[in-house]
């Protein structure tokens, strides 16, 4: 079953203009097969069919990958690891912090980290409001914060404010586009309609930052190194 799924993934990636080596594609398929196996007991996702997971989980997540910047990425409400694990597989030189308050889901994330040999992943079992990372005696701020099916935009911005600085970019993945921020001190850098192969539904991305400083550049293509 793995190779037909890998070919389905490859066709979708090509349609979206994304290119990853076959070993990377195989690791992505291994990941959704892990979800399917654990889903029977842990209810990680409402999607049960692995073929559907290719478009609705993998390709949907990877449509955002070209918009990643910096080295340190926080995935809030990571759940089954979406989009954090697909990002970590395809961007091994970045570090990903996958945060979720659900113990069953963080246990799955730890198992996925081990089985997929993702040394660039850290799993955090915590409420985002309680998460106060420290490194060398200093508070950690993230280059990018991602959120997919986690909460409304206002809640995402407010609950992660202590993890942001003026250079942090918040990537909010949406279905129907809603550019209402509902909170002062932020601005939309870009609003992007995403085309996801095999997905007949609206998908949008909001790039948001604090008003104080606006990043001036963005990569033109996905990071494959």
Angle between helices 2-16 and 22-42 (to 10 degrees): 120
Residue 138: asked if its preceding bond is cis (omega within 30°), the reply is no
Strands 144-148 and 169-174: parallel
Closest to 28 measured CA to CA, from 144, 100, 115, 110: 115
pTM for this predicted structure: 0.91
* Token code pair at residue 171: 């990537």
Output the pLDDT for position 41: 85
Residues 81-110 have pLDDT tens digits of 999 999 999 999 999 999 999 999 999 999
CATH 3.40.50.150 is held by the domain 2-210: yes
Strands 121-125 and 95-100: parallel
Output the pLDDT for position 221: 45
Output the pLDDT for position 22: 96
Residue ranges of the chain whose pLDDT lies below 50:
213-222, 224-225
Output the pLDDT for position 212: 65
Output the pLDDT for position 150: 81
Output the pLDDT for position 83: 97
Q: What end-to-end distance do the CA atoms of the chain give, in Å? A: 28
**Does residue 165 sit in helix, strand or coil?**
coil
Angle between helices 103-115 and 22-42 (to 10 degrees): 150
* Token code pair at residue 100: 């979720």
Domain ranges of the chain: 2-210
């Amino acid at each position: 079953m793995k190779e037909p799924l890998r070919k389905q993934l490859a066709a979708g990636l090509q349609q979206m203009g994304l290119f990853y080596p076959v070993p990377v594609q195989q690791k992505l398929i291994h990941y959704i097969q892990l979800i399917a196996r654990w889903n029977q007991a842990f209810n990680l996702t409402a999607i049960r069919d692995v073929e559907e997971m290719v478009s609705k989980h993998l390709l949907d997540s990877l449509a955002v990958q070209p918009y990643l910047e910096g080295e340190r990425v926080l995935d809030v409400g990571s759940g089954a690891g979406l989009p954090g694990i697909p990002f970590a597989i395809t961007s091994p030189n970045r570090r990903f912090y996958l945060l979720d308050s659900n113990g069953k889901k963080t246990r799955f994330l730890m198992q996925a980290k081990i089985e997929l040999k993702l040394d660039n992943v850290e799993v955090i079992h915590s409420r985002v409001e309680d998460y106060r990372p420290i490194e060398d005696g200093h508070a950690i701020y993230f280059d990018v914060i991602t959120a997919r099916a986690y909460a409304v935009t206002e809640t995402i911005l407010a609950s992660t404010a202590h993890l942001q600085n003026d250079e942090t970019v918040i990537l909010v993945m949406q279905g129907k586009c809603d550019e209402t921020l509902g909170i002062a001190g932020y601005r939309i850098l870009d609003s992007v309609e995403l085309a996801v192969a095999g997905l007949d539904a609206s998908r949008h991305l909001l790039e948001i930052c604090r008003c104080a400083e606006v990043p001036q550049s963005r990569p033109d293509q996905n990071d494959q190194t």
